[in-house]
Amino acid sequence: MTRIFKYYRFHLPLSFQSNELIALSSYPGCVSSTDDFYMTDNGLTIMDTSLEVLNPRVYDRISEDPKRPRLPRFLHVMATNRVAKTGTQWTSMLASESLGTGNSQWLVVDYNRFTPNQPLQDNALRLLEQLPGFAHQADVTAELSSRGAWGSFNRPFFQAGCSVTKRPVALFNPTISNRTT
Alpha-carbon distance of 67 to 57, in angstroms, equals 24
What pLDDT sits at residue 181? 43
> In angstroms, what CA-CA distances link 136 with 89, 130, 161, 166?
14, 7, 8, 16
The reported pLDDT for the residue numbered 151 is: 84
Confirm if 136 and 158 have CB atoms less than 8 A apart: yes
87-95 helix and 73-83 helix, angle to the nearest 10 degrees: 150
- Residue 154 per-residue DSSP state: S
Per-residue pLDDT of the chain (181 residues; tens, 9 = 90+): 788 999 999 988 888 888 899 999 999 999 899 889 999 999 999 999 988 888 888 878 777 766 766 778 888 899 999 999 999 999 999 998 766 667 889 999 999 999 999 999 999 999 999 988 888 999 999 999 998 998 888 888 888 888 778 776 554 344 545 454 4
pLDDT of 169: 59
